[in-house]
């Protein structure tokens, strides 16, 4: 397999790598979010859910990219759409991390202040978007999503465009 990959032109390897990354990155990030919820016991806030939907869309578009040859315009377009969806999740992650850090207020009722919500009244867990539930190296899950999603989306775009070469 490595010998075959080494014989392929760089543009083919870049195109194949772009669509593979466009599939694996959101699978990993969405899998991590779901794992932290169902295995780790973290309860996601409203903005956490917002970040998941673009990753789900990216998985669909990236999977569809595998229905065409790697260097085809159809595959490249679907890969770039997946990268855009990943970037949208990253942008939401930036916004969410900013809310957590107190840089700005959130648009939702899941931030501090205000009257009792229906969830509070019914006893359901209320998870505020402005409180960090988990962090690693001082960066929250929203922050990590932002970093990995925006960086990964940029890399996918670079690889997909490099894969255009003849």
Confidence of residue 117 (pLDDT cuts 50, 70, 90): low
Domain ranges of the chain: 10-162
Q: Is the pTM of this model over 0.75?
A: yes
Token pair 């998941």 is found at 52
State residue 50's pLDDT score. 86
Query: What does the pLDDT look like over 24-67, one tens digit per residue?
Result: 999 999 999 888 889 888 888 888 888 889 999 999 999 999 98
Query: What does the pLDDT look like over 57-88, one tens digit per residue?
Result: 999 999 999 988 877 889 899 999 999 999 99
Domain 10-162: CATH superfamily, name plus number: DsbB-like (1.20.1550.10)
Q: How far is CA 102 from CA 2, 72, 98, 148, in A?
A: 48, 45, 6, 22
Q: pLDDT: is 97 or 12 the higher one? A: 97
Residue pair 127/45 in contact (Cβ under 8 Å)? The answer is yes
């Amino acid at each position: 397999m490595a010998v075959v990959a080494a014989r392929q032109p760089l543009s083919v390897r870049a195109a194949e790598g772009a669509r593979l990354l466009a599939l694996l990155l959101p699978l990993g990030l969405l899998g991590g979010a779901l794992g932290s919820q169902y295995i780790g016991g973290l309860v996601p806030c409203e903005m956490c859910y917002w970040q998941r939907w673009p990753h789900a869309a990216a998985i669909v578009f990236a999977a569809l990219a595998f229905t065409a040859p790697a260097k085809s315009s159809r595959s490249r377009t679907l890969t770039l759409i997946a990268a855009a969806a990943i970037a949208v999740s990253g942008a939401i992650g930036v916004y969410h991390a900013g809310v957590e850090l107190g840089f700005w207020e959130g648009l939702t009722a899941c931030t501090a202040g205000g009257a009792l919500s229906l969830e509070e009244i019914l006893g359901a867990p209320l998870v505020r978007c402005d409180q960090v539930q988990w962090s690693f190296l001082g960066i929250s899950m929203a922050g990590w999503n932002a970093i990995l999603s925006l960086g990964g989306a940029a890399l996918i775009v670079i690889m997909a465009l490099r894969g255009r070469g003849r």
